[in-house]
Amino acid sequence: MLDCAIIGGGPAGLTAGLYTTRGGLENVTMFEKGMPGGQITLSSEIENYPGVTGEITGMDLMMPWPEQCQKFGLKHEMVEVIKVSKDGDIFTIHKGDGTTQEAHSVIVGTGSRPRRAGFAGEDEFFGRGVSTCATCDGFFYKGKEVAVIGGGDTALEEALYLAKICTKVYLIHRRDEFRSAPNTVDRLKRTENIELVLNSVPDEVYGDNMGVTGIRVKNKDGKLRDIEVPGVFTFVGNDVNNQTLMQENGEFLCDMNAKGEVIVNISMATSLEGLYATGDMRIAAPKQVVSAAGDGAVAALQVISFVDEKLNG
């Protein structure tokens, strides 16, 4: 019987593992189907993690984290978790190899994945000029021109953010109107260095071995236009990795919002006692490494108290 099962080995899961084990829990296992580190390991450069100076990749940033956690007793099991269920006050972890593991508490941090827009060159140049995070990568294009793809709240807010540091932002949207909040749309239209490229879709991102050099867009009449930019940001939505919380009856183990994000309180507690959700999969997630790590620490401290009270009264 585990004191705590941690599902997901990104910044949230690793930090939860560090805090639970260092905080006194002796039987904690982190389940991660691949190598620990999470989505941030795909980033080519990190500049906004506190205390990190100089050039460092996402892989470099995350490399020491598992060793630090395991020093305090965190176990890592490299297996996919298919489902988490609960019977009475005991959780069951259903693993991809057909085995199960019981636990007193569970911290889930399986994250989310940005949707790809599906144009040519998107995968080839992802991390080399194509990005899904303006807060993470926008600074690299300070004083340069960039393109933003999307028409929702996130796309417009990120375009406004980029407009503060870039000389020009081309906002490419497939329609001629936006479904974002009216005040956001008004701010967008009043921002002089944002050019709206409407009724258009990305056709291809192109570049060289150094990265992106431009994007070709196609309007509703089929006319192509080349826009020379070194950076392209896509914001066409995120898919939450919430499959492990789905039950056989088609319902989730805890309360979720319409987007499939886990509803938590300020302590990362879900609607189900003993279950905590962290990082990009929870509501209102900032989708930053430092925030995910903070979530993991908060959840872990709650778990320590929860397990102690459960076992010792």
Integer Cα distance of 66 and 72 in angstroms: 10
Catalytic residue among 60, 133, 153, 203: 133
Integer Cα distance of 93 and 102 in angstroms: 6
Q: Compute CA distances 199 → 32, 180, 235, whole Å.
A: 42, 16, 16
Identity (one letter) of the amino acid at 198? Answer: L
Catalytic residue among 3, 4, 69, 136: 136
Active site residue 254: no
The helix/strand/coil state of 157 is helix
The DSSP bridge partners found for residue 216 are 204, 226
Active site residue 4: no
Integer Cα distance of 113 and 281 in angstroms: 9
Return phi, psi of residue 137, to 5°.
-115, -5
Catalytic residue among 137, 254, 280, 295: 137
Active site residue 69: no
Integer Cα distance of 172 and 200 in angstroms: 6
Looking only at the bridges linking them, the beta strands covering 112-114 and 130-131 are: unpaired
Q: Catalogue the active-site residues.
A: 133, 136-137
